Amino acid sequence: MNAVPQERRVVTAIPGPKSQELQARRLGTVAAGVGSTLPVFTKRAGGGVIEDVDGNLLIDFGSGIAVTSVGASAEAVVRRASAQLQDFTHTCFMVTPYEGYVEVCEALAELTPGDHAKKSALFNSGAEAVENAVKIARSYTKRQAVVVFDHGYHGRTNLTMGMTAKNMPYKQGFGPFAPEVYRVPVAYGYRWPTGAENAGPEAAAQAIDTITKQIGADNVAAIVIEPVLGEGGFIEPAKGFLPAIVKFADDNGIVFVADEIQAGFCRTGQWFACEDEGIVPDLITTAKGIAGGLPLAAVTGRAEIMDSVHGGGLGGTYGGNPVACAGALGAIETMKELDLNGKAKRIEEVMKGRLAAMQEKFPLIGDIRGRGAMIAIELVKDPVSKEPAAEAAAALAKYCHNEGVLVLTCGTYGNVLRFLPPLVIGEELLNEGLDVLEAGLAAL
Ligand SMILES: Cc1ncc(COP(=O)(O)O)c(C=O)c1O
């Protein structure tokens, strides 16, 4: 593993001169639609630190959007992927198969919730996994409708854009979107009109009412939800909501799909976030954290559903690439060996304790939520009106960036600061990042 020093060090303006030079080149050649949260160019990354080309060391509270849970250069990922690179880079599993793919599917069967017979198919990106989960659910049910939720995010392909709630920047100008996608309410406790304690049952009742009245339960192939909604603002559906939706799906022959692409693989302190309420999804989509930074995604689910698709109906040239599979086996090995679920729980304890103390001082923090190392603060102009404070979120993020702490924003209203540190981050570094956040709140 490369030895990136595990400390924060800001030696130039952020971005520094070398990054600015690269950014100028980038602007001349990279499409403007591809954005970057913080245009410091990366030299190395590992543990909880990103080193830029100017020699700055940034504390990483982003993990490349919840990907490098095991770190960006985890020993087992590097070792296994490097060995695989020596052997072969690609044959295409659909042409001549290889063991790594099978091993990843075995691991997914072992780790995902439920002790029923399971099968998996591997892909390249989260969006592709979601698309395939819908294909499989339609093939199994012989139905067409797909139900998704307010604040949901599922990707940037045509179908998954349509399944995503937020217009800007994901959908604006990119329509028309795929038909037969329907959106229903989710139990967003902090903003539920009758209070968080009522959000679970009331939102479930509304969602079910909309499905039955406007779509017809018999027409629904799949209900797709993130057990913790990521891009939408780290919204944990209020307790009782998910079990009610799962029961409705079961009662009506609908395939329940948990999109664990952001929340899965130890991120929330459990292998999968849906375990929190004992949910056993019919299908589960994974990506991001699965392979330590290499592009891999999967759909895993009940064998009879997965096998309902005709031979040759699923696949893709690169899906389950052997190097990415080797990376996944290395990442899973690391998660088990270092007990990254335990680490995520400890991160939650430290973060929530510190953030609660900050909330007492700064009423800008309207809500603290999330689980494990998937924690967010929702910023509001006033704790009673809860008017979203998007400008404050942007200013706070900028303050952190300038001080060498990489944080990301999210949320339908753009007013949520989210913290997704690598699960291997040291506790001192974690606290130092929070010190910077606290100073930023004071500076605002
Ligand atoms: C819950 C969820 N689903 C799907 C996706 C899409 O994944 P990808 O960007 O790999 O296509 C994301 C990405 O942020 C996500 O968070």
Domains with residue ranges and CATH for the chain: 17-73+339-443 (3.90.1150.10), 77-337 (3.40.640.10)
pTM of the model: 0.98
User: Cα(291) to centroid of ligand 1, in Å?
Assistant: 14
Q: Which of 128, 154, 268 to mutate to test the pocket of ligand 1 (most atoms within 8 A of CB)?
A: 154
pLDDT tens per residue, range 27-60: 999 999 999 999 999 999 999 999 999 999 999 9
Strands of 374-379's sheet, edge to edge?
A: 365-371, 374-379, 416-419, 408-410
**Does the pLDDT of residue 2 top 90, yes or no?**
no
Report which protein residue has its CA nearest ligand 1's atom 10: 126
pLDDT tens per residue, range 277-299: 999 999 999 999 999 999 999 99
Q: Is 93 helix (H, G, I), strand (E, B) or coil?
A: coil
Atom of ligand 1 nearest to the CA of 155: 6
Whether the CB of 127 sits within 6 Å of ligand 1:
yes
pLDDT cut 90: percent of the chain above it: 99
Report which protein residue has its CA nearest ligand 1's atom 4: 154
pLDDT tens per residue, range 92-150: 999 999 999 999 999 999 999 999 999 999 999 999 999 999 999 999 999 999 999 99
CB 340 within 8 A of CB 424: yes
pLDDT tens per residue, range 415-439: 999 999 999 999 999 999 999 999 9
CB 379 within 8 A of CB 396: yes
What mean pLDDT comes out for the span 225-245?
A: 98
Residues 6 or more apart whose Cβ sits within 8 Å of residue 137: 146, 221, 222, 255, 257, 282, 283, 305
pLDDT tens per residue, range 355-392: 999 999 999 999 999 999 999 999 999 999 999 999 99
pLDDT tens per residue, range 8-35: 999 999 999 999 999 999 999 999 999 9
Supply the pLDDT for residue 3: 87
Supply the pLDDT for residue 124: 98
**Does the pLDDT of residue 1 top 70, yes or no?**
no
pLDDT tens per residue, range 64-88: 999 999 999 999 999 999 999 999 9
What mean pLDDT comes out for the span 259-266?
A: 98
User: Cα(123) to centroid of ligand 1, in Å?
Assistant: 13
User: Cα(404) to centroid of ligand 1, in Å?
Assistant: 26
Whether the CB of 280 sits within 6 Å of ligand 1:
no
Alpha-carbon distance 67 to 73, whole Å?
Answer: 12
Whether the CB of 417 sits within 6 Å of ligand 1:
no
């990136």: which residue's tokens? 4
Alpha-carbon distance 334 to 27, whole Å?
Answer: 38
Atom of ligand 1 nearest to the CA of 128: 11
pLDDT tens per residue, range 169-216: 999 999 999 999 999 999 999 999 999 999 999 999 999 999 999 999
